Amino acid sequence: MAAITDSLRKLAYKLGVREEADTIEELINLINDTIGSDKGNDIADALDSYADAIGITIPLGKVTLSAMEQEEVPYDVAVSVYQADDVTVSNGAITGTLYEQQTGMMVDTFGEGYYACVHLSDIDEAATSVKIGLVPTRGSGLVEIITDPDKDGVFKISDKDNQVLKVVSTDGTRTQIQLFDLSGLTLVPANEE
């Protein structure tokens, strides 16, 4: 087993992995994350075959979550009305400034409050379902986004310190769960904009 681990470490280094891994599973995950599911190359397929041969499962690749562009217009309102251009997603956290909404389609449906506008990309090609939503939820739960051509979502933040944005990807047998902290958001009331 040590020879296999050493061979994988060498392969990982050649592929650009510079992080340490304690187990074969962690090492394969790092390699898989580095080469990415979007490349669809023979290395990823070989790693999957190798993992099957030694009895481990490589999880689905993680999706990339980002703030929607300011000029985009979800639900008839520009993103720049929902949030400032300082909204970013990094290291499992969404930070930046959200503006209180008092009118519009989202308010008509979900009520006044603060809405974060996000975009998903780099979805694993093997994924048959990708759901996104706030936990704990205040209504809609996790929403299927795999069939959405834009892969965009607008979510009402009811309690930034106790909610997280959750993304769940699955291919029917493997599941990847990602949680994004919201506590770094700054909420600006409508009368202070």
From CA 126, how far away is CA 79, in angstroms rounded? 30
Which position has the token pair 């470490």? 9
pLDDT tens over the chain, length 193 residues: 565 667 777 777 777 777 777 776 777 777 777 766 444 455 666 767 777 777 777 777 789 999 999 999 998 899 999 999 999 999 899 999 999 999 999 999 899 999 999 999 988 888 999 999 999 876 667 899 989 889 999 999 999 999 999 999 999 888 889 999 999 999 999 877 6
From CA 24, how far away is CA 99, in angstroms rounded? 46
pLDDT confidence of residue 139 = 67
Q: Pull the structure tokens for residue 3.
A: 């020879």
pLDDT confidence of residue 40 = 40
Cβ-contact 79, 69 below 8 angstroms: yes
Backbone angles phi, psi at 179, to 5 degrees: -120, 135
pTM of the model: 0.73
Q: Which helix (DSSP H) or strand (DSSP E) does residue 182 occupy?
A: none
